[in-house]
Structure 1
Amino acid sequence: MNKKISIVITFFNESGNINSLFEELQKVLDKDFSDWEHELVMVDDGSVDNTWNELVEIKQKNNKIKLIRLNRNYGQSIAMDAGFKNIDGDIVVTMDGDLQNDHKDIKRLYDKLEKDSLDLVAGNRKQRKDPLSVRIITFVAKFLRKLLIKDGVEDSGCTLRIYRKKVTDNLNLRAEIHRYIVAISKINGFKVGEICVNHRVRENGVSKYNWKKSIKGFIDLFYIWFIGKYESRPLHFFGTVGIVNFIVGVIFFFVAFYQKIIMDVSLNRSGWLFLGIFLVQVGIIIFIFGIMIDIMIRNYYNNSYEKRYIIKDIL
């Protein structure tokens, strides 16, 4: 039986790019994967332009295309998750719908996947064609990723990736987590790699990446760091924080007694001591509360049947 490759493409207000994307992708699949079955899963993430109508027109030309329309804009992670939950291929490819990814790189990604017996290969946009502001944010994010999660790739934001289906089956995406799929996959024990890919200039539409998404991405980065390092042993983290704060508290306690004995300052007047203890305790409580709530939500969604998003149409 022939192998099957599933291409998951997410769209949000990409009218004007769709016909060119489909024609270019079809040529690449017919040439490089001629002996494979092809499945195209195109996810409209609540577009408000003519994206959905253009996707419907494309489907009328090719019944192998599966269209998914979300009832509103949830973000790329949710759109990708909806695509992953509706694929059948042995090999899965993800890419953007803005024509900046080069379809010809798909074969190179697959060759790397097979040659090195990997489970996931990510694209690295060595020569970025993005605005300067986006490249600056990316540089900062790259530094923090190397410092905190060590995912082993240069470009975690490139959507052009190839996966074995067992990888996507173990992903539950939300928020801006799609940027850290490689890190999550490494945490899950899968072998990952990376190759340089072509990055093209956007010709139609505007970039959806902005400073608000970058802030969410940075927050998710710290979440991934915590999950990867302490998910199975949170006491190591919280215990260390508790011991450090206990030691600091003891030091403040001796400082207060020093002021009392040497400077004759009443303990009731040692405001810095009480303020320091208060702020440290409140900070720890808030941090622990936030992380534990996030973990509970993660577990809830992974083990419940309640949907995190609503699919409006599947064609």
Structure 2
Amino acid sequence: MPAATSSSSSPAEPDGPPIDLSVLIPVKDEAENVGPLHREILRAMGPIPLRFEVIFVDDGSTDGTAARLREIQAADPGHVRVAFLRTNCGQTAALSAAMDLARGAVLVPMDGDGQNDPGDIPRLLEKLDEGFDVVSGWRKDRKDTLLTRKVPSRIANRLVARLSRVPLHDFGCTLKAYRREVLRGVRLYGEMHRFIPVFASWQGARVAELVVNHRPRRSGRTKYGLGRTFNVVLDLILIRFYQSYAQRPIHFFGRVGLYAVALSFGSFGLMLFYKYAYPALGFPNKDFVETPLPQVAITLFLAGVQMIVTGVVAEMVMRTYYESQDKPTYLLGEVLQSAAEAGSDADAAPITGGRPGPGRTVG
């Protein structure tokens, strides 16, 4: 039996034989669940004539999960690959590592606790074949506690769907299917893995939803509770800002700054009213110093100037980000042109610094 190979280098482009499907499983302290999950995946994939791999990423487990994963990989080296993070980095980081290691044309992430049903993988692939780029699982009959998991999740999902304009019911379901090309350029930070369909949709991906089976946890303990909902809200604010102002931050910060400056001038005008117009109208003289208007005017003016300066700095950072990495500020689909033009375009340097996208030649 071939021995497992190990490498500590950072993954670059996926290598090795072509793979149709990569199942990505980040795990943390799931020693009792990874074995049954591996066997279920093999049973689910048995009838499907696809070349597949199962990538487990151990996120700093301390309960013997690492040893169990080594045993699984040694027993099934043809399908299983295992990566070990040096310390606990979180589910999003572990999933990102699995994506970097994956070689499949289709990526299917799932939880390592056994609550996602591997039997749904063929159904996800069938839905993907209907012309979609992303198929997101929907745990319609969710087997979790009502108050601490289900109710906060429903509220968060509705907020995400409304603000992102991606009409999904269950962003938190890890079980999804992605075509590899829609994830190119997507980098994950914090706890952003649940928003991958949102990022893909912004890049023009066709997103669908499929009801999947959700099972009670067989063993082990959940890593998430009610406090996770607050993280979702904060991440939602970030992606909303990213969606609307990532390429024009001055429009956000500058607008807030101008509003604050305008309010400061309004407060100053009210001060003048109390000083001059108020006595002229026959009212008793009222010294504006007795009001909070001077402090309000000064505070708003300084805050407004600071917001405008912040916008200018953010604009410089944004431009440095795009230009230093030669990142285009557009998403190019296909280009219809003659074969001669396609050849000349390939030799020419892009004027705007954007990389030419995939094109189709006609001629």
- Normalised-by-shorter TM-score class: 0.7 to 0.9
Partner SS state of residue 104, structure 2? coil
How big is the shift at 1:25? 0.6
Correspondence for 2:64: 50
TM-score (norm 2): 0.74
Determine the C-alpha separation between the residues in 2 that align with 1:288 and 1:210: 39
Percentage identity across aligned positions?
A: 32
Q: How does 1:88-99 map to 2 (within 5 A)?
A: 88-99=103-114
How big is the shift at 1:191? 1.7
How big is the shift at 1:267? 4.2
Of stretches 83-92 and 135-144 in structure 1, the one that deviates more from structure 2 is 135-144
Determine the C-alpha separation between the residues in 2 that align with 1:257 and 1:211: 51
Correspondence for 1:36: 50
What does the per-residue CA deviation read over 1:36-91, in whole Å, with 9 as the maximum and x for residues that have no partner? 11111100111111111111111111012110110111111100100010111111
How big is the shift at 1:255? 2.2
User: Against the structure 1 CA distance between its residues 45 and 234, is the aligned structure 2 distance closer, same or farther, given a 3 Å change threshold?
Assistant: same
Correspondence for 1:224: 239
Contact 2:142–2:214 under 8 Å retained in 1: yes
Of stretches 18-27 and 256-265 in structure 1, the one that deviates more from structure 2 is 256-265
Output the amino acid matched with 1:69: F
Correspondence for 2:346: none
User: Against the structure 1 CA distance between its residues 149 and 15, is the aligned structure 2 distance closer, same or farther, given a 3 Å change threshold?
Assistant: same
Determine the C-alpha separation between the residues in 2 that align with 1:280 and 1:190: 44
The partner residue of 2:138 within 113, 124, 128 is: 124
User: Against the structure 1 CA distance between its residues 10 and 2, is the aligned structure 2 distance closer, same or farther, given a 3 Å change threshold?
Assistant: closer
Correspondence for 1:70: 85
Output the amino acid matched with 1:41: I
Contact 1:84–1:169 under 8 Å retained in 2: no
Unmatched segments (≥5 aa) in structure 2:
1-16, 279-283, 326-363
Partner SS state of residue 43, structure 1? strand
TM-score (norm 1): 0.85
Determine the C-alpha separation between the residues in 1 that align with 2:314 and 2:59: 30
Are 1:18 and 2:34 an aligned pair?
yes
Determine the C-alpha separation between the residues in 2 that align with 1:175 and 1:299: 19
Correspondence for 2:127: 112
Output the amino acid matched with 2:42: Q
Contact 1:260–1:267 under 8 Å retained in 2: yes
Correspondence for 1:278: 299
- Cα RMSD between the aligned structures? 2.9
How big is the shift at 1:273? 4.5
Of stretches 215-224 and 240-249 in structure 1, the one that deviates more from structure 2 is 240-249
How big is the shift at 1:268? 3.9
User: Against the structure 1 CA distance between its residues 127 and 68, is the aligned structure 2 distance closer, same or farther, given a 3 Å change threshold?
Assistant: same
Output the amino acid matched with 1:7: V
Determine the C-alpha separation between the residues in 2 that align with 1:186 and 1:155: 15
User: Against the structure 1 CA distance between its residues 276 and 251, is the aligned structure 2 distance closer, same or farther, given a 3 Å change threshold?
Assistant: closer
Determine the C-alpha separation between the residues in 2 that align with 1:232 and 1:59: 44
Contact 2:268–2:297 under 8 Å retained in 1: no
Partner SS state of residue 92, structure 1? strand
Of stretches 217-226 and 239-248 in structure 1, the one that deviates more from structure 2 is 239-248
Output the amino acid matched with 1:107: P
Correspondence for 1:310: none
